[in-house]
Structure 1
Amino acid sequence: MLATYGDRRPEDVAEGIDSLELAWLIHQLEQHYGTALDLSDDELARMSTVGGAVEVLAGLKVETGSR
Structure 2
Amino acid sequence: MSNLPPPGRAEVIDWLAGLGQRPPGAERLDSMELAWLVHQVEQRYGVELSDDQLAQMTTIDAAVAVLGEVLSAHA
**TM-score relative to the length of structure 1:** 0.69
Contact 1:15 1:49 in 2 (8 A): yes
Query: Which deviations, in whole Å up to 9, do the C-alpha atoms of 1:33-59 show, x marking residues without a partner?
Result: 2x132x222211110111110110010
Q: Higher RCO, 1 or 2 (CA under 8 Å, sep at least 6)?
A: 2
* Residues 1:14 and 2:26 aligned together: yes
Aligned to 1:5: 19
Q: Distance in 2 between matches of 1:52 and 1:16?
A: 9
CA apart distance, 1:27: 0.4
CA apart distance, 1:13: 5.8
**Cα RMSD (Å):** 2.5
* Residues 1:47 and 2:57 aligned together: yes
* Residues 1:27 and 2:70 aligned together: no
Give the 3 Å change call, closer, same or farther, for CA 60–43 of structure 1 in structure 2.
Answer: same
Work out the percentage of aligned pairs sharing the same amino acid.
49
Gaps of 5+ in 1: none
* Residues 1:60 and 2:70 aligned together: yes
**TM-score relative to the length of structure 2:** 0.63
